[in-house]
Amino acid sequence: MPLSTPDPDPPPVRLRAAEPGDALCLSVLAMQVFLDTYATEGIRPAIAREVLSNYSQDAFNAALADPRSRWCVAERSGHLIGFAQVTLGATHGLAPAGQQAELLRLYVQEPFTGMQVGTLLLTCAERLASEGGASVLWLTPWVHNHRAIAFYIRRGYEDFGLTQFVFEGESHENRVHAKRLRDVNPA
């Protein structure tokens, strides 16, 4: 079998704000990444219902129309490969005091992980949160999502304790991670 060599000149990754027409591709990418990340034992009805309801095109259309949400979309060669979704004003009691915003989703399609796309999206999300008035960005990774937790810790996110994510009557342990944002426009 021939050995493949890395492309010496890969197409560039471009970041942009989301548009209403993005809901279809955001929905499908999010379903794929969600299942890759959380359906670690296969598919059961609760997970299937969660994906088909909260990750549907309609759900993304509604989220895109939410005035509190901010988006950063990563594309390569005209294809969606990842996105970050921030909710301004969403609060968590365990996160540090301040103007809080939640990093609701940071999803990179698996073939494009390890290529700095997540770092670009996280930096973009922090900027969007800061520009929206937030001084603290928090998120709640699943305790078994070791890759994501290590990723956030290496980027300055501290662990503020345990929380429960409840869906379909199931309770899942998540950690609360947060970072104090620097002013994007310091005086």
Ligand X SMILES: CC(C)(COP(=O)(O)OP(=O)(O)OC[C@H]1O[C@@H](n2cnc3c(N)ncnc32)[C@H](O)[C@@H]1OP(=O)(O)O)[C@@H](O)C(=O)NCCC(=O)NCCS
Task: Name the residue whose CB lies closest to ligand X.
Answer: 118
**How many CA atoms does the CB half-sphere of 84 hold within 13 Å?**
25
Contact criterion met (CB below 8 Å) for 167 and 83: no
**Cα distance between residue 103 and residue 130, in whole Å:** 12
Tokens representing residue 163 in the block: 């929380």
* Choice between 48 and 150, CB closer to ligand X: 150
| Closest CB 151 distance from ligand X, rounded Å | 4
| Closest CB 2 distance from ligand X, rounded Å | 22
Q: Give, in order, the Cα–Cα distances in Å from 14 to each of 11, 17, 127, 132.
A: 9, 10, 16, 22
* Choice between 59 and 115, CB closer to ligand X: 115
Which residues make up the interface to ligand X (CB under 6 A)?
33, 37, 106-108, 113-119, 139, 141, 145, 147-148, 151, 154
**Cα distance between residue 176 and residue 183, in whole Å:** 22
**Cα distance between residue 121 and residue 23, in whole Å:** 18
| Closest CB 62 distance from ligand X, rounded Å | 21
* Choice between 11 and 65, CB closer to ligand X: 11
| Closest CB 113 distance from ligand X, rounded Å | 3
* Choice between 65 and 119, CB closer to ligand X: 119
Rounded to 5°, the CA angle 90-93-97 comes to 80
| Closest CB 94 distance from ligand X, rounded Å | 15
* Choice between 53 and 119, CB closer to ligand X: 119
